[in-house]
Chain A
Amino acid sequence: MLAVSYQFEFLYSYDTTGKVFPRLEFQVSDPGNPGETIDIQTYLDCGAERSLLNGWIGAALGIDVLGGKPVTYQTGAGTLLSAALHTVRLLHPDLGEFDLEVGFSAGEVPRNLLGRDFFDLAQIGFREHHLAFFVTPSP
């Protein structure tokens, strides 16, 4: 049997619809301008190839969002979303700091998603039955 150990345990969080989801809150900044920060909610989504944040977050951090490499995200239902890639810094009180190239959406999205690019930086395990997830902040 393979045994895996994790450093931190987090309980799922309630969203405003009254449902629970695996979510982490981060302070996000532009690594080139770390003075401007916003605290955001991010939903862990191992089905997403790359993380997606609201484009206005980039603008609020002083990033020229449209100046990033343009990419298209496709949802499970086939809907296409335009976005641009930029590197952001995510800061967490226990997990530390992550520099991640994320997509900033051209339009508004209700949720910021952390995809497999984040899962590449941290080991994450889920115990859905216990509404808990586990994180070790290293690959």
Chain B
Amino acid sequence: MKTLEAKIVDATHLELSQPLDGSPGQRVALQVPEEKGETNAIPGRRLRELEDDWCQSHPEALHRYVGEWVVIEGEGILVHGKDPLRLVAEARRMGVRSPYIFFVEGSQPDVIRLGL
């Protein structure tokens, strides 16, 4: 096997540095660098990153509250229940200035979610 250089003319044509000595119809393999997907964008910070990381690493803690709202503060569930307004008020009474609250959806196999 030998290595030839080729210039890319466009997306479907190459210009070889020397002619091929194989017969027409013979196949050759090309090695092309894989796109690495690098960008110049700065990794964005996330509001409530600590809480989201905790939720991701403790899914079992949330599964108990499927169908409820939860207020997460730091690495734990502060309050939970069916009435989000009451939970926000409770969290504020406990000294949380801006409660982080979301609904715990349960996973159902074969369910594909739309926006709503």
Name A's B-contacting residues (CB within 8 A): 5-10, 13-19, 24-27, 37-41, 43, 45, 47-48, 52, 54, 56-57, 59-60, 73, 75-77, 79, 81, 92-95, 108-111, 113, 127, 129-130, 134-135
Contacts and interface: CB of A to CB of B under 8 A. Distances in A.
A110 B103 contact: yes
Contacts of A24: 46-47
Given A25-B52, A43-B115, A111 B103 contact: yes
A26 B101 CA distance: 11
B42 A19 contact: no
Interface stretch (B1-9, B17-25, B26-34, B104-112): B104-112
| Leading 5 A-B pairs by shortest Cβ distance | A8-B44, A9-B41, A17-B107, A39-B100, A45-B115
A126 B65 CA distance: 31
B22 to A, nearest CB: 34
B70 to A, nearest CB: 9
Interface residues of B, number: 38
B47 A25 contact: yes
Nearest to B67: A110
A7 to B, nearest CB: 6
A81 B115 CA distance: 13
Given A25-B52, A39-B98, A60-B88, A9 B42 contact: yes
A16 B59 contact: yes
Given A9-B39, A73-B116, A109-B116, 10 more contacts: A9-B42, A16-B105, A16-B107, A18-B59, A39-B47, A56-B84, A76-B116, A81-B116, A110-B103, A111-B116
B94 interface: no
13 contacts: A6-B39, A7-B42, A16-B63, A16-B104, A17-B106, A37-B98, A39-B99, A39-B101, A43-B115, A56-B85, A60-B89, A108-B103, A113-B115
A5 B45 CA distance: 18
B102 A41 contact: yes
B113 A19 contact: yes
